[in-house]
């Protein structure tokens, strides 16, 4: 399932900030640094009650979208049957990507992902 505009993708453990797998280029061609920085953002959002209790339908954060002048950064938490601390991180070229379609496809990818 290709996602137009993707420059790079990483599977990241947000507790350690380590890249578990990567494809394409990372921002500045550095998946490890991008993963560690994205993990800081993911931890902040996931552990902050302002985001997890913002409505009556409380629950964990599903995804995070960061827009920059030339890029989009998507973080999608992966739900598993065990206590997961993993997310998929996509870095997209803003000129080529469709943000709504990328979010939709990323959601589909996380439901198909099998972690053991």
Place of tokens 């420059």: 7
Boundaries of domain holding 46: 6-115
CATH, residue 15: 3.30.450.30
Q: Is residue 11 part of a domain?
A: yes
Pairing label, strands 63-67, 6-13: unpaired
Per-residue pLDDT of the chain (116 residues; tens, 9 = 90+): 578 899 999 999 988 999 999 998 877 778 899 999 999 999 888 888 777 665 666 567 888 999 999 999 999 988 777 767 889 999 999 999 999 999 998 888 887 776 65
Domain membership flag for residue 54: yes
Indicate the pTM of the whole model.
Answer: 0.85
**Letter string b/e over residues 22-53, b meaning 16 or more CB atoms within 10 A of that residue's CB:** beeebbeeebeebbbebbebbeebbeeeeeee
Residue 1 within any structural domain of the chain: no
Does some domain include residue 24?
A: yes
Length of the chain: 116
Q: What is the DSSP letter of 112?
A: H
In a domain, 19, yes or no: yes
Per the CB < 8 A criterion, the answer to whether 115 and 78 are in contact is yes
Count the domains in the chain: 1
């Amino acid at each position: 399932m290709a996602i137009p505009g993707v420059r790079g993708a990483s599977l990241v453990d947000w507790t350690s900030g380590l890249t578990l797998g990567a494809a394409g280029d990372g921002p500045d061609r550095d998946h490890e640094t991008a993963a560690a920085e994205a993990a800081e953002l993911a931890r902040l959002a996931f552990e902050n009650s302002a985001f997890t209790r913002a409505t009556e339908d409380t629950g964990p954060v599903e995804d995070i979208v960061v827009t920059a002048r030339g890029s989009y950064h998507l973080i999608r938490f992966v739900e598993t049957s065990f206590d997961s601390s993993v997310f998929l991180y996509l870095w997209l070229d803003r000129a080529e990507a469709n943000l709504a379609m990328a979010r939709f496809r990323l959601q589909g990818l996380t439901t198909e992902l099998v972690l053991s």
